[in-house]
Amino acid sequence: MLVIHGGAGSMSPENMSAEKQQIVREVLTKIFDAGYQMLESGASAMDAVETVVKLMEDSPHFNAGRGSVTNAAGKIEMDAAFMDGKTGLAGAVAGVKRIKNPVSAARAVMERTPHVLMLGEGAEMVAREAGLEFKSSAYFLNKTKDGEKGQKITDGWDPSYELSPHKYGTVGAVALDKNGNLCAATSTGGMQNKRIGRVGDSPIIGASTYARNGLVAVSTTGHGEFFIRNAVAFDIAALMDYKGLTVEEAVKTVLAKLDKQGAQGGIIAIDGQGRPAAFFNTRGMYRAFKDASGKTRALIFND
């Protein structure tokens, strides 16, 4: 079982052309099917999750990797996290600027170091040791997820310049493989025009990313500060573990709490039996999964 998301935000049928909607659905379907076929062929949840997140990072349609938005200085700062539900081990990177696929760097931190979260230059050292691919800033800056160039560049934080309505873009995946192992990963370019050095929820284990075998795997997208303060991903696991809620009930409960706080975003999850959940309180969320009939569903709005 697999569920993927490509970010939640202010996208709506009114501000997104039918052509753009079709393109995004086709991209989501292609990426989802690649990961699902891996799982059907016996691949591990970790390999399938890494693969689909890398594919989204490589696409200009999502705010991660190649499609990352820029900070207040017009620079790229990317974050990612990876968690193995079987071992409980996790890895994350924050503020990386040149790693082509931050999700692979997060996995490298998990597998090659005794640490969980590594920043900037230190994270890039681990990525180099793992033989990961690096790109120049032009790779990330020449084309944003909307195919545009040249976001506003300032010397620092400009409070007069509002955050982009696409600020909630983030990608993630959760999977359950044939051996019963769960995995979750999340990757993001962060909020457009964010303060230099701002880190959101995506690389914080328990905030945006969490996995525990037999229970649940979670990946989120949204207003990161709220997701950090509420430990959203772990809260879902705790509601299921301690109160016996289903994955759908737990996700809806946490989203309702966020809604009361004025926080927006979306959550995908899979429980230990393969039951999926994908809910959001924004205008839309890019997402893909298999429906009850076994058909791939790539959705954007409440359709």
Catalytic residues: 170
Distance CA 83, CA 103 (A): 10
Helix (H), strand (E), coil (C) string for 224-270: HHHHHHCCHHHHHHHHHHHHCCCHHHHHHHHHHHHHHCCCCEEEEEE
Proportion of the chain in helix, strand, coil states, percent, rounded to 5: 30, 25, 45
Measure the N-to-C terminal CA separation of the chain; round to a whole number of Å. 21
Q: Are 171 and 222 in contact (CB under 8 A)?
A: no
**Tokens linked to 274:** 């393969």
CA distance 82 to 87: 12
Nearest CA-CA partner of 90 in 173, 184, 216: 184
Q: Are 197 and 75 contacting, i.e. CB atoms less than 8 angstroms apart?
A: no
Residue pair 191/66 in contact (Cβ under 8 Å)? The answer is no
φ and ψ at residue 42, rounded to 5 degrees: 100, 10
Q: Give residue for tokens 């989203």.
A: 255
Distance in angstroms (rounded) separating the CA atoms of residues 65 and 12: 24
Q: Tell me which residue of 39, 29, 87 sits closest to 59, measured CA to CA.
A: 29
- Measured CA distances, 86 to 44, 157, 184 (Å): 11, 41, 11
